[in-house]
Amino acid sequence: MKHIAGVAIGGFAFPYIIPSSVLGKSNGVAPSNKIAVGCVGVGNQGMGDMHSFLEQDDTRVVAVCDVDANHLREAKEDVDRRYRNKDCAAYLDFRDLIARDDIDVVQITTPGIPTSTVCTLPIRPLRTNSQAN
């Protein structure tokens, strides 16, 4: 009987162990409500733009992309350091980044012609499920 009572009490106490920030309380944003950002082009200007997203409470940079391996490595390291994990994905080809279905916003900071190439590709169909037949 004592064992059952201990399990029941433990079950009621467990929710108090979860930090309130995970639930979106204490002026925080719940992780499930954050805008997932992918950054294409993380050279000088792109790094500054990416850092603007890193400073926002309601966004989370989840992937970075650059054709320059050094820029790519530095950007991934910055994101991983900011979030204190190794979750940020790194891509050399922007098509791999935009193929992900968990990214809400793509920041594109590339010079000239590459920008127009990235911008003219359809990222996702704009129709909702109710419109698709």
Structural domain spans, the chain: 34-117
Predicted TM-score (pTM) of this structure: 0.69
Looking at residue 26, its pLDDT comes to 53
Looking at residue 17, its pLDDT comes to 53
CA 44 – CA 14 distance, rounded (Å): 46
User: Quick one: 34-117 is in which CATH superfamily?
Assistant: NAD(P)-binding Rossmann-like Domain (3.40.50.720)
Picking from 18, 22, 38, the residue whose alpha carbon sits closest to that of residue 30 is 22
Looking at residue 75, its pLDDT comes to 98
Q: Digits of tens for pLDDT over the chain (133 positions)?
A: 555 544 444 445 444 554 444 454 555 677 678 999 999 999 999 999 999 999 999 999 999 999 999 999 999 999 999 999 999 999 999 889 988 989 998 998 888 666 556 665 555 544 344 444 4
